[in-house]
Amino acid sequence: MVSFSERLLDRLRHTESVVALTGAGISASSGVPTFRGKDGLWNKFRPEELANLHAFLKNPELVWEWYSWRRELIRNVKPNLGHYALVDIESYFSEFTLVTQNVDNLHQVAGNKRIIELHGNIMRNKCVDCNYQVASQELEAGIVAEEKKIPTCPQCGSLIRPDVVWFGEMLPEEAITRAQEAASAAEVFFSIGTSSTVEPAASLPYLAKGNGAYLVEINPDETPLSSVTNERFAAGADEVLPALAIEIEKMRSRYR
């Protein structure tokens, strides 16, 4: 049984402005591996070989092989109760913003509407030179250079890469600006399933708290953020979020 403090419920009763920041942990129970920790991807693979532009230009086949594997894995999984609870929670607040570091597209599949993707989306692709956007279906339809087994740009001929943020790259400017605005305005800020170690996303909860937000963490393990949160749930997002959605539904309908 998950129970929520009166302080948290009271805030949620009286505000419209709520932000949820999600990380790989929310998709863990769908079967998508996280990055850090025992079974994390960065425990088995080297990010410097797979997730930076230099590595891609040097060995695009290897990087594409890795992303095609992850894409296939993601295609075969479904959103879990944690994702769906966030869809319900969004519907109770007129100013709810979901900020995600995930590239797995599961929030979109679940049905959230206002989503800010900080690290891109693995189902999209773009040209390394001219930024031409290619959907994955288009790639599969055959814009693949047969001899090299890697896709090239129909517009300029350069390499096509996954539209995700790699190490050493800037986040999409509009996304991080909107996320910072939402965090500053939030009355309640949820940090969900993230190790809170990758900047600039890791700074968003501090920005929110500095501007008066009530800070809540949902994560079975402690993170660097844990000690500054107002409330912490040491359990899975798929357990806590459905209970929270029910609680909010009860009280928001009572007060309307």
Pick the binder of Zn ion from 26, 153, 171, 240 (CB under 5 A): 153
Q: Print the SS3 string covering 13-61.
A: HHCCEEEEEECCHHHHCCCCCCCCCCCCHHHHCCHHHHCCHHHHHHCHH
Peptide bond into 220 cis (omega under 30): no
Piece of 25-33, 63-71, 129-137, 183-191 that binds Zn ion (CB under 5 A)? 129-137
Give residue for tokens 């090299």.
148
Which of the listed partners (ligand OAD, Zn ion, none) does 127 bind, with a CB threshold of 5 to 8 Å by partner kind? Zn ion
Residue 153 three-state SS: coil
Q: How would DSSP label each residue in 189-242?
A: EEEES--S-STTGGGHHHHHHHTT-EEEEE-SS--TTGGG-SEEE-S-HHHHHH
Piece of 40-48, 110-118, 156-164, 197-205 that binds Zn ion (CB under 5 A)? 156-164
State which residue has the least CB distance to ligand OAD.
25
Assess whether 107 carries a catalytic annotation. Answer: no
Instruction: Pull the structure tokens for residue 220.
Output: 């079975």
Cα gap 56→62, rounded to integer Å: 8
According to CB under 6 A, which residues from 156 to 185 bind ligand OAD?
164-165
Pick the binder of ligand OAD from 20, 30, 32, 34 (CB under 6 A): 34
Establish if 36 lies at the interface with ligand OAD (CB under 6 A). yes
Which of the listed partners (ligand OAD, Zn ion, none) does 156 bind, with a CB threshold of 5 to 8 Å by partner kind? Zn ion
Establish if 60 lies at the interface with ligand OAD (CB under 6 A). no
Residues taking part in catalysis: 119
Binding site for Zn ion (CB under 5 A): 127, 129-130, 132, 153, 155-156, 158
